[in-house]
Amino acid sequence: MKKYRGAFIKNDNEVARLREANRMVANILDAVGEMVGVGVSTMRIEELARDMCSDYKVKPAFLGYFDYPYATCCSVNEQVVHGFPNERPLEDGDIVSVDMGVEFDGFVGDAARTFPIGSVSDDVHKLLRITEESLYVGIEHARPGHDVYEIGAAVQEYVEAAGFNVVRRFVGHGVGAKMHEKPEVPNFKPGMRGLTLQNGMVIAIEPMVTLGNYEVDILEDQWTAVTRDGKWAAHFEHSVVITPQGARILSVSDKGLNRHTIAP
């Protein structure tokens, strides 16, 4: 595979396989959106994701990755990312960030969304809306010839203008035959120059946004990232391919692009 400064350049065939992997992920997230609600536990999300993977005859990409024990990450309220599914029923006003990956035909699809449970407070609804919108702001800046760090600079500016903060501890990434490839895609401005985006690069852009401070801690389970101040966080992720026309989103479901929290 062709490389540019450590990042793989995918050919049309590889992009098609990545699109298929990401279509499956987006379909799973659509199905999650239809089944989550008050009284449903995140373990039901995990089961649905695993069932759909067996229907699709694909491997969940997270399960076993650095010994991660589940197919999904289900992060509730002050949990930012990498939360374990569990049996606690979700309550009215909660939010759950669901991150999912599959491996199809040697290529990884990766996407995430935060779902509101029942009716959430105005602040929390705004958190979801701004986080999702910031993802699309980042995607707008993912163009050939642009510095990859322009993505995060734009995300950070958008998020902070709304009064929220962007997590620094976790970043987006190149994605392909491996889940994490070069380059790193921060959601903030790193203050130096990064790699210049090239046609055929595939990256996962995944802003994590907090209502309060951006500092996170990892729980004793060694995975679950929570905000240090206990304020809530949201996470939206798309995998995109860089084309001459700009970034093309790969994680699109059969129902089309899903922009849940954005008014049409």
Partners of residue 235 on adjacent β-strands: 208
Instruction: Look up tokens 């976790």; give the residue.
Output: 170
Closest to ligand MF3 by CB, 92 vs 114, is 114
Residue type, 39: G
- Cβ–Cβ contacts within 10 Å for residue 177, how many? 15
Q: Which stretch binds ligand MF3 (CB under 6 A): 36-44, 59-67, 88-96, 161-169?
A: 59-67
Q: Which of 14, 46, 103, 110 binds ligand MF3 (CB under 6 A)?
A: 110
Q: Looking only at residues 1 through 40 of this chain, which bind ligand MF3 when binding is defined by CB under 6 A?
A: none
Let me know: does 226 contact 76? Beta carbons within 8 Å: no
CA Rg, the chain, in Å?
17
Residue 24 contact, options Co ion, ligand MF3, none, Cβ 5-8 Å cut-off depending on partner type: none
In whole angstroms, what is the distance from residue 88 CA to residue 78 CA? Answer: 15
Is the Cα dihedral 52, 57, 62, 63 positive or negative? positive
What does the angle CA 131 – CA 129 – CA 71 come to, to the nearest 5 degrees?
60
Residue 65 contact, options Co ion, ligand MF3, none, Cβ 5-8 Å cut-off depending on partner type: ligand MF3
Let me know: does 202 contact 20? Beta carbons within 8 Å: no
Closest to ligand MF3 by CB, 73 vs 252, is 73
Closest to ligand MF3 by CB, 108 vs 154, is 108
Q: Looking only at residues 203 through 222 of this chain, which bind ligand MF3 when binding is defined by CB under 6 A?
A: 204
Q: Which of 33, 68, 126, 246 binds ligand MF3 (CB under 6 A)?
A: 68
Q: Which of 62, 158, 164, 214 binds ligand MF3 (CB under 6 A)?
A: 62
**Which residues of this protein are in contact with ligand MF3, per CB under 6 A?**
62, 65-66, 68, 73, 82, 99, 101, 110, 112, 173, 204, 237
